[in-house]
Protein backbone atom coordinates (compact mmCIF):
# COMPACT_ATOMS: atom_id res chain seq x y z
CA UNK A 1 0.00 0.00 0.00
CA UNK A 2 2.80 2.48 0.92
CA UNK A 3 4.46 1.88 -2.44
CA UNK A 4 1.19 2.62 -4.23
CA UNK A 5 0.70 5.93 -2.36
CA UNK A 6 4.37 6.80 -2.96
CA UNK A 7 3.92 6.18 -6.70
CA UNK A 8 0.75 8.32 -6.82
CA UNK A 9 2.45 11.21 -4.98
CA UNK A 10 5.73 11.22 -6.94
CA UNK A 11 3.86 10.87 -10.25
CA UNK A 12 1.18 13.48 -9.63
CA UNK A 13 3.65 15.91 -8.02
CA UNK A 14 4.62 16.98 -11.55
CA UNK A 15 1.05 18.21 -12.21
CA UNK A 16 1.39 21.42 -10.13
CA UNK A 17 4.79 22.12 -11.70
CA UNK A 18 3.49 21.60 -15.24
CA UNK A 19 0.38 23.69 -14.44
CA UNK A 20 2.47 26.53 -12.98
CA UNK A 21 4.86 26.62 -15.91
CA UNK A 22 2.04 26.55 -18.50
CA UNK A 23 0.26 29.38 -16.65
CA UNK A 24 3.24 31.63 -15.91
CA UNK A 25 5.81 30.58 -18.55
CA UNK A 26 8.35 31.40 -15.82
CA UNK A 27 11.09 28.79 -16.19
CA UNK A 28 14.00 30.81 -14.82
CA UNK A 29 14.48 28.74 -11.63
CA UNK A 30 14.10 25.43 -13.41
CA UNK A 31 17.18 23.41 -14.35
CA UNK A 32 17.35 22.34 -17.99
CA UNK A 33 19.93 19.73 -16.98
CA UNK A 34 17.54 18.18 -14.45
CA UNK A 35 14.63 17.77 -16.84
CA UNK A 36 16.81 16.55 -19.72
CA UNK A 37 18.26 13.80 -17.48
CA UNK A 38 14.91 13.13 -15.82
CA UNK A 39 12.97 12.68 -19.08
CA UNK A 40 15.55 10.18 -20.37
CA UNK A 41 15.52 8.37 -17.01
CA UNK A 42 11.73 8.14 -16.89
CA UNK A 43 11.69 6.89 -20.50
CA UNK A 44 14.10 4.12 -19.49
CA UNK A 45 11.86 3.28 -16.49
CA UNK A 46 8.99 2.96 -19.01
CA UNK A 47 11.02 0.50 -21.12
CA UNK A 48 12.05 -1.38 -17.95
CA UNK A 49 8.40 -1.59 -16.90
CA UNK A 50 7.49 -3.00 -20.34
CA UNK A 51 10.34 -5.53 -20.17
CA UNK A 52 9.13 -6.86 -16.81
CA UNK A 53 5.45 -6.41 -17.80
CA UNK A 54 4.72 -4.34 -14.64
CA UNK A 55 1.71 -2.18 -15.49
CA UNK A 56 2.12 0.00 -12.35
CA UNK A 57 5.64 0.97 -13.42
CA UNK A 58 4.41 1.53 -16.98
CA UNK A 59 1.44 3.69 -15.92
CA UNK A 60 3.34 5.79 -13.35
CA UNK A 61 6.26 6.48 -15.65
CA UNK A 62 4.05 7.02 -18.68
CA UNK A 63 2.19 9.82 -16.87
CA UNK A 64 5.42 11.26 -15.45
CA UNK A 65 7.02 11.19 -18.91
CA UNK A 66 4.20 13.28 -20.38
CA UNK A 67 4.32 15.83 -17.53
CA UNK A 68 8.12 16.08 -17.41
CA UNK A 69 8.29 16.44 -21.20
CA UNK A 70 5.85 19.38 -21.05
CA UNK A 71 8.07 21.05 -18.43
CA UNK A 72 11.20 20.36 -20.50
CA UNK A 73 9.57 21.73 -23.67
CA UNK A 74 8.51 24.93 -21.88
CA UNK A 75 11.98 25.31 -20.38
CA UNK A 76 13.56 25.04 -23.85
CA UNK A 77 11.01 27.43 -25.39
CA UNK A 78 10.90 30.04 -22.62
CA UNK A 79 14.52 29.83 -21.31
- What residues line the site for a second copy (CB under 8 A)? 2-3, 5-17, 19-21, 24, 26-31, 33-35, 37-38, 40-42, 44-45, 47-48, 51-52
- Residue closer to a second copy (CB basis): 20 or 69: 20
- Residue closer to a second copy (CB basis): 10 or 73: 10
How far apart are CB 62 and a second copy at their closest, in Å?
13
Could you give the 3-state DSSP secondary structure of residue 11? helix
What is the maximum span of the chain, computed from C-alpha positions, in angstroms? 39
Neighbours of 48 (CB within 10 A): 13
Could you give the 3-state DSSP secondary structure of residue 27? coil
Amino acid sequence: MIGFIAAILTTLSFVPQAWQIIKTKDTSGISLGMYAMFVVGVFLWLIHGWNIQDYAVIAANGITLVLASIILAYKIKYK
